[in-house]
A and B are shown apart, each in its own frame.
Chain A
Amino acid sequence: EVQLVESGGGLVQPGGSLRLSCSASGFTFRSHSVYWVRQSPGKGLEYVSGINGRQNVINYADSVKGRFTISRDNSKNTLFLQMSSLRAEDTAIYYCLKARYTDYESVDYPPFDHWGQGALVTVSS
């Protein structure tokens, strides 16, 4: 059974930093792209970032580019999101997701097939 379990959320002051983790199991982690999507009451569901298995394809939404860094440790089946220069508008539940297909199945932009349970990040003074 695929499981994605986020951790590391919490309350942080504006301008601060936080690192989210997503522990994955039930699939060959190194073979799949994984992603972060966030949900806030004001902006709905918003794509944040994605990374492929070999870590040579990485992308970000413009709203977080230059402030957030996605990475992964394939030896520990873990995805990370390092967030810095946090703003009030970054307040959201952050979900970890995996691609349906492996990176070797020649699909440019695969659909998601599993969501984690989410981690709440609150940016407030």
Chain B
Amino acid sequence: DIQMTQSPSTLSASVGDTITITCRASQSISNCLAWHQQKPGEAPKVLIFQASNLESGVPSRFSGSGYGTEFTLTISSLQPDDFATYYCQQYSSYLRTFGQGTKVEI
């Protein structure tokens, strides 16, 4: 199984900050990497696929980058609606695996 490791697990930030979350894969996954956002009591939703492609309707302050084993999610000018938990997820094999999540809190 491909292991996905996110850091940090928790991130404290303020409205207007720029934050970066890192995701590392245990082996190369090319650009087969997605990011999901989950708010308390809600299902996750897809933010980014193919490492850097924004899902339709996702604000441009979200951006993703990376290839191989190291990936980042950057949120510029953090907004109140962005305080949530973020998960990376690989789809390089049939057994999709997720990172443990990064909680972005005020």
Residues of A at the B interface (CB closer than 8 Å) are: 35, 37, 44-47, 50, 59, 61, 95, 100, 109-118
Contacts and interface: CB of A to CB of B under 8 A. Distances in A.
Contacts of B100: 44
Given A47-B97, A50-B94, A59-B95, A111 B44 contact: no
Interface of A is mostly: strand
Interface of B is mostly: loop
Contacts of B92: 109
A120 to B, nearest CB: 12
Nearest to A115: B43
Given A116-B43, A117-B43, A109 B89 contact: no
B50 interface: yes
13 contacts: A44-B100, A44-B101, A47-B97, A61-B95, A109-B93, A109-B96, A111-B32, A111-B50, A112-B49, A112-B91, A112-B96, A114-B46, A116-B43
